Amino acid sequence: MLSPFPLGRPARMAVMASGRGTNLEALLEAFPPQNPWGEVVLVLSDNPEAYALKRASRRGVEALAIPWRGRKAFEREALDLLRARNVDLVLLAGFMRLLSPGFVEPWYGRLLNIHPSLLPDYPGLHVHRRVLEAGERETGSTVHFVDQGMDTGPIVLQGRVPVLPGDTPETLERRVLFLEHRLYPKAVRLVLSGLAFPPGDGLKALLGEAWPRFQGLSPREKPLYLRVAALLSAWGLGGLVPAALMGQGGDWGRGAFLAAHLLAEDHPALRRELAELPEEVRLRAEEALRRVESPL
C-alpha cells in the first residue's frame, strides 16, 4: 500500500505548535467539525504561553500544553495523547522542536510540517534574511513529510512568491505566511486523498522500468510523478504507470500529468489542454481536481 489514505471516513487531526498559531488558525478554518475531509481534534504545544492554545480553545478544540522538561518526556506524553485521541494525521505548524526517530518512525507518512522556503533550499532558521542576503528573486513555502532530519523529508506541495526590490525579512515573512495559509490546507487534502505520500514499500514494483528515472529526479520533481502514479492507480490503471512516467502513457498518461500539475498550481494553458483530451480522461481528471480543490 503506497499510502494509508484515504481512510473512507473523516480524518482526526492533531496540530503541534509553539507560537502564534496563524497556520493553526488556517487549518482550524479549513477543517472544522463535520467537515467530510476531517477535523482538528487536538492541539499540543511545548509552550504553555503559546497563543496557538488560545486559538484552539476559542473554537472548542482540545488544547493542551506539555511543558518542555526534555524531549523524551515530552514525546512520551504527546504520543500517549495522540493514541488516546485516535489521531490519524499530525500537522506541525510552527512547532520549534526537532522530533526524535522514536516519535517520527511510527508516524512517518502521517506527519507533516510546513517550512517558509522552497526546500531543499534554506532549511532551518532565519530563512527570510538568508533569502534576501542571497539575492533570490523568488521564495515560497514547502509542505513536507517529516523524517528524521531537519526540513529534509519528502515534499508534498510547494508555493512560490516573488521577492520584490526593497523587501525586508518582515515584508517577506508576511507574504509567505499569506501563501502558507492556503498551501497547508491544500497539501493536507492531497495527503488525505491518497495523492501525496512518501516513497516507500511497493513503489519500486509499481514504477517498474520507470524506477531509475524516478530515482534521478530532484526532490521538487518527485511529488509530481508520485501524483501521476497515484492518479492512474486510483483510476484502475496502475499497469500504465511505468509507461506514463516514461512519456508513453497515451491520453491517460497525459491526463494524469496535466491533473498532477494542476493539483499543485492552476494554469490556464494546462486547463485548456485537459479540456481537449477524450471525454473519459477529462472527466476523471476534472473529478480529481474538484475533490482536492474543494474545502468540503
- Per-residue three-class SS string for the chain: CCCCCCCCCCEEEEEECCCCCHHHHHHHHHCCCCCCCEEEEEEEECCCCCHHHHHHHHCCCEEEECCCCCHHHHHHHHHHHHHHCCCCEEEECCCCCCCCHHHHHHHCCCEEEEECCCCCCCCCCCHHHHHHHCCCCEEEEEEEECCCCCCCCCEEEEEEEECCCCCCHHHHHHHHHHHHHHHHHHHHHHHHCCCCCCCCCCHHHHHHHHHHHHHCCCCCCHHHHHHHHHHHHHCCCHHHHHHHHCCCCHHHHHHHHHHHHHHHCCCHHHHHHHHCCCHHHHHHHHHHHHHHHCCC
Could you give the residue numbers annotated as active site? 115
